[in-house]
Chains A and B, each alone.
Chain A
């Protein structure tokens, strides 16, 4: 059994091991959904914010955080959800964006306040891409195709 350290930064680092079930290369830290960690004696409260309101991964993420921290020796773990301020892809870490790209998903790329599009095809690097559908395999992604290598790819939408 590991001895739990009751320190917020330590717990925050531990959460690096908890990943998004839909996009396993991203940790909950990369996603930017950990809003706060509160320690009260031996009680740990992790505050998360949902990416999309209907995202089915959120329940699973909350469970993963709880069970992972349990396995690290923290017996009293509570995961709570806050809505405000609303999650934005701007909170995704630079490391997270690089991981996404390597994984084959174009990271969020804001062009103006209200418009966004992938910078380049995550496979061949061409900037010549087109949108196939604003909605991809999960709520957070859109489906694009590269006009150069013709490969379809997922784009993590700005939110």
Chain B
């Protein structure tokens, strides 16, 4: 992105962390989905996200190893041996899974963002990164379709589902601003243009779902700088437990 040498690794890690943390959160639905087909759908999306995270971590590891002249970094060390403050995912993806409506709404807001970002990265100068983006774009297209349908169904559904979705929009909205707040490893102009298109797509969907797009509200941030909500620590403690307790354990 801006400064190729300094920002490449943090940028790739940022993308990977978003994917991993959202995937880990979504995986809590495994065996708990409202119906079997949707349980399978959300876990399939989760699998895609983990697959993308793996490719991104491996790419980051390659860069790190080249810089350090060793082979110490791997996709696993990056996922399992970094602390909370070293994760740069946005706060939105670490929030508890909430109810089904909250989960699908978050997935939708994030997938639309990811779709636009990957579309931009498809033409990125870093060839391996653009290859991952092109590959992932196909998968995210399904994620957008699926989560959008759920937002419409629940928003424009029963009075109870509508109310739950309206509340979910209010609850999550203050975490959407961070997606477009450029960190030093991001390109502000690119984010701004993505933001415009994202807002337009989201507004159309929410309107169709009879939901209201919140007016300007206070936007929470900090994830990209490693300042997280309390929720991330608990998640990492559980996710990293085995590698921390039994270093280098393999399957």
Contact = CB atoms under 8 A, between A and B. Distances in A.
Interface string A114-137: 000000000000000000111111
B177 interface: no
B47 interface: yes
Contacts of A39: none
B49 A83 contact: no
Interface in A25-52: 50, 52
A56 interface: yes
Nearest to A114: B141
Contacts of B40: 133, 135-137
A53 B54 contact: yes
Given A83-B131, A139-B47, A134 B142 contact: yes
Interface string A92-126: 00000000000000000000000000000000000
Contacts of B134: 83-86
B203 to A, nearest CB: 22
Given A86-B138, A133-B40, A137-B40, A54 B48 contact: yes
Interface string B40-79: 1100111111111011000000000000000000000000
A132 B51 CA distance: 25
B132 interface: yes
Interface string B106-140: 00000000000000000000011011101110110
Nearest to A82: B131
A159 interface: yes
Contacts of A50: 51, 135
A138 B51 CA distance: 14
A53 B48 contact: yes
Contacts of B55: 53, 83
Contacts of B49: 54
Contact of B52 (A54, A138, A157): A54
A133 B37 contact: yes
B138 A54 contact: no
A155 to B, nearest CB: 13
Given A84-B127, A134-B145, A134-B146, A53 B44 contact: no
B135 A86 contact: yes
Contacts of A52: 47-48, 51, 139
Contacts of B37: 132-133, 135, 143
What 10 A-B pairs come out closest when comparing CB atoms? A54-B51, A53-B51, A84-B131, A54-B47, A135-B41, A133-B37, A83-B131, A135-B44, A86-B135, A86-B134
Interface of B: 37-38, 40-41, 44-52, 54-55, 127-128, 130-132, 134-136, 138-139, 142, 145-146
